[in-house]
Amino acid sequence: MKVVIVSSFFPLKKKESKHSFVYDEAIRLIERGTDIYAVRGGIGANHITVDGIKVYNYFESNLSNLFHVIPFIPKHLTTLPFLGYFISPRTLLHIYRYGASVSHIVKSNNIDLIHAHWAYPEGFVGLLAKRECKIPLIVTIHGSDILTCSEVNYGARLSRRLDSIIHKTLKASDFIISASTATYKTALKLGVRKDRLYLIPNGVDLKRFCPKKSNKIKEKYGLNEKFVIFALRSHEPQYGLEYLIKSIPLVLKKIDNAFFVIGGSGSLQKYHEALTVNLGVEKHVFFTGLIPPEKVPDYYNMVDVVVVPSLQEAFGLTITEAMACGKPVIGTNVGGIPDQVVDGYNGFLIKPKDPNAIAERILYLYDHPELAKRMGKRGREIAEKKFDINKRINKIIKIYKEII
């Protein structure tokens, strides 16, 4: 079985962290006997092999010469919905070049099906290739392609033009894979037929993410006697790290040995760093920047509680990782977070944008260490039952076989 994965940010190295979950799936699909080809945006060699995955950069494929794309564009121009014609000519050219490149790779390698990650632009690119090559298309919806949060300008569908393209893509795809109840229900509202829509939760490697004693990070930063709160999110508006930071003075009023470790990078990192200074709590906060993937489990295992203060969250793989490592999670009651956090059982659900609620739940876990341990243990049990990546792969392969 040959599958082409369309993912603009497919990693060129297994240590690259951005969208590594697509790589994690691809590796396991190869282990189950599936030949994987990945087509990504970007400039580089025509193609390279990454751990058995043939990865193509479409800008440098044989179709980089516009002469080869010219016949493709008029042939499939009507695939674009009416509002789609009003996006920029440069973006249109990008999409159609991408679609022509995927089609070329499909034909050259006798691919059986296309699996696009994100409904836009990858899903629409996959739709163009599906219609050119007459093979099935599966689209995995992830978050920003399907959910919206207008207060922080989150979500492609806030644009009517992109919304029309996403509608068209989802309706014309053979199967849609959704990771959470929130994205599943949204897809139904957008007109996806229930018999073509699968709810398959994301998963993690339970051998890599597991409870273990790890003092390396604590010793490195001198945190052995600290109560450590951890957040691992991009510093972007939709992830609400501002509200976690604003909870810190409230926590420190009650416990002076609390320490906050905030991982990740993004456009708001400098703002968040300045906010800790303005609040006078900078000595109790460490910003790690991007954490190498191989070190992430060590961070989870050295902390006492994990906080996910998102304003919108399609699934929240950081929650799954924390649960797999046996840590209680405080998360906002949005998107896919309630699929994982059962309030009062393996963590707490709170309202978004509420520093007081964050502080209250942190302090409660500090005051009830035995309950925190039980919550962490329950989280691990839930992860083993529902969020094992190998179980997800089994379901995906079943869909592949059904569709072929």
The string of pLDDT tens digits covering residues 269-293 is 999 999 999 999 999 999 999 998 8
Alpha helices in 110-258 (DSSP H): 124-133, 160-172, 181-189, 216-221, 241-252
Between 34-48, 265-279, 312-326, 337-351, the lowest mean confidence (pLDDT) is in: 34-48
Q: E strands along 216-360, which residues?
A: 227-232, 258-263, 285-289, 305-308, 329-332, 347-350
- How far apart (Å, rounded) are the C-alpha atoms in residues 240 and 261? 15
* Average pLDDT estimate for 100-121: 94
Q: What is the DSSP letter of 283?
A: G
Query: What integer best gives the mean pLDDT of the chain?
Result: 92
Q: With bands split at pLDDT 50, 70 and 90, how would you rate the model's confidence at 178?
A: very high
- For the chain, domain boundaries: 2-203+389-403, 216-386
Instruction: Label the pairing between strands 329-332 and 285-289.
Output: unpaired
Residues 108 and 106: their CA atoms lie apart, in Å, by 6
In this prediction, residues 232-246 reach a mean pLDDT of: 97
> What's the rounded mean pLDDT across residues 67-71?
74
pTM of the model: 0.92
Strands (E), 295-375: 305-308, 329-332, 347-350
DSSP state of 44: S
231-240: string of b/e by CB count within 10 Å (b at 16+)? bbbbbbbbbb
Write out pLDDT tens, residues 305-316: 999 999 999 999
At the topology level of CATH, where does 2-203+389-403 sit?
A: Rossmann fold (3.40.50)
Q: In what order do the strands lie in the sheet with 197-199?
A: 47-50, 53-57, 35-40, 2-6, 113-117, 137-141, 175-178, 197-199
Place of tokens 């920029």: 88
Q: Which CATH architecture describes the domain 216-386?
A: 3-Layer(aba) Sandwich (3.40)
Q: Tell me, yes or no, if the two domains 2-203+389-403 and 216-386 fold the same way.
A: yes
Read off the pLDDT band of 195 (50, 70, 90): very high
